[in-house]
Structure 1
Amino acid sequence: MLEHGGRLRRAAHEYGIAMEHWLDLSTGISPFGWPVPDIPASAWQRLPEEDDGLIEAACAYYEASCVLPVAGSQAAIQALPALRLPSRVGVIAPGYAEHAYAWQRAGHQVTSQAADALLADLSAWDVLVLIHPNNPGGERFDLDALLHAHGELAKRGGWLVVDEAFMDVTPQHSLCRYADCEGLIVLRSVGKFFGLAGARAGFVCASSDLLHALRDQLGPWTLSGPSRHVLQRALADRAWQMRARTRLLQASERLAALLCAHGWQPTAGCGLFQWCRRDDAPRVHRALAQRGILTRLFETPASLRFGLPPDDAAFARLDQALREVAP
Structure 2
Amino acid sequence: MLEHGGRLLRAARTYGIAPADWLDLSTGISPFAWPVPPIPAAAWARLPDDEDGLVEVAQAYYGAPQLLPVAGSQAAIQTLPLLRSASRVGVIAPGYNEHAHAWRRAGHQVIELAAEELFARVDDVDVVVLIHPNNPGGDRFDLATLLACHARLAARGGWLIVDEAFMDATPNDSLCPHTANEGLIVLRSVGKFFGMAGARAGFICANATLLDAARERLGPWTVSGPARYVLRHALADLAWHAQARTRLQACSACLAQLLTKHDIAPTAGCAFFQWWRSERANDVHRALAAQGILTRLFDRPQSLRFGLPENNAAFERLDAALAQCAR
TM-score by length of 1: 0.99
Match of 2:58 in 1: 58
Write out per-residue CA displacement over residues 28-77 of structure 1, whole angstroms, 9 at most, x where no aligned residue.
Answer: 00000000000000000000000101000000000011010000000000
1:195 aligned partner: 195
What is residue 294 of structure 1 aligned with on the other side? 294
Counterpart CA distance in 1 for 2:122 and 2:209 is: 24
User: Does the 8 Å contact 1:179/1:185 carry over to 2?
Assistant: yes
Q: What letter matches 1:298 in structure 2?
A: F
CA contact (8 A) 1:91 1:111 kept: yes
What does the per-residue CA deviation read over 1:79-121, in whole Å, with 9 as the maximum and x for residues that have no partner? 0000000000000000000000000000000000101001012
* SS at 2:274 equivalent: strand
Residue 326 of structure 1, CA deviation: 3.0
Aligned to 1:117: 117
3-state SS of paired residue (2:74): helix
The amino acid across from 1:85 in the alignment is: S
Amino acid aligned to 1:21: D
Q: Provide structure 2 residue ranges, at least 5 long, that are not aligned to the other structure.
A: none
The aligned counterpart of 1:84 is: 84
In structure 2, what is the Cα distance between the partners aligned to 1:290 and 1:135? 25
After TM superposition, give the deviation of residue 282 of structure 1 in Å.
0.4
1-side partners of 2:169 and 2:91: how far apart?
24
* Displacement of 1:6: 0.2
Residue 222 of structure 1 corresponds to which residue in structure 2? 222
SS in 2 for 1:58: helix
- Counterpart CA distance in 1 for 2:150 and 2:324 is 48
**Which residue of structure 1 aligns with residue 166 of structure 2?**
166
Three-state SS of the structure 1 residue aligned to 2:38 is coil
3-state SS, counterpart of residue 162 of structure 1? strand
Q: How does 1:113-192 map to 2 (within 5 A)?
A: 113-192=113-192
Alignment-derived partner of residue 16 in structure 2: 16
CA distance in 2, matches of 1:288, 1:264: 13
Gapped regions of structure 1 (runs ≥ 5):
none
Displacement after TM superposition at 1:134 (Å): 0.2
How many residue pairs end up in the alignment? 327
2:312 aligns with 312
What SS does the aligned partner of 2:265 have?
Answer: coil
How far did residue 257 of structure 1 move? Answer: 0.2
SS in 2 for 1:135: coil
Post-superposition offset of 1:238: 0.4
Aligned position for 1:269: 269
**Could you tell me whether the CA contact under 8 Å between 1:54 and 1:232 is conserved in 2?**
yes
Residue deviations 1:136-187, cap 9 Å, x none?
0000001000000000000000000000000000000000000110000000
Q: Distance in 1 between matches of 2:73 and 2:211?
A: 13
| d(CA) in 2 for partners of 1:93, 1:326 | 30
**Residues in 2 aligned to 1:79 and 1:255: alpha-carbon distance in whole angstroms:** 35
Amino acid at match of 1:51: E
Query: Within 5 A, what are the aligned runs for 1:212-251?
Result: 212-251=212-251
- Deviation per CA, 1:231-276, whole angstroms, max 9, x where unpaired? 0100000000000000000000000000000011100000000000
Partner of residue 7, structure 2: 7
**Structure 1: how far apart are the matches of 2:301 and 2:77?**
23
Native 8 Å contact 1:132 1:164 kept in 2: yes
Equivalent-residue separation in structure 2 for 1:99 and 1:175 (angstroms)? 19
**Within 2, Cα distance between the matches of 1:302 and 1:73?**
25
Cα distance in 1 for residues equivalent to 2:85 and 2:224 = 31
Separation in 1, partners of 2:180, 2:211: 10
AA at the equivalent of 2:186: V
Structure-1 separation of matches of 2:270 and 2:178: 23
* Contact 1:256–1:266 (Cα < 8 Å) also in 2: yes
In the alignment, is residue 31 of structure 1 matched against residue 31 of structure 2?
yes
Structure-1 residue corresponding to 2:68: 68
Amino acid in structure 2 at the alignment position of 1:43: A
Summarize deviations over 1:175-211 as a string: whole Å, max 9, x none: 0000110000000000000000000000010001100
Q: Which runs of 4+ in 1 moved over 2 A?
A: none
Q: Is residue 73–residue 188 contact of structure 1 (8 Å, CA) maintained in 2?
A: yes
Deviation at 1:122, TM superposition (A): 1.3
Contact 1:284 1:326 in 2 (8 A): no
Partners of 2:294 and 2:210 in 1: CA distance: 39
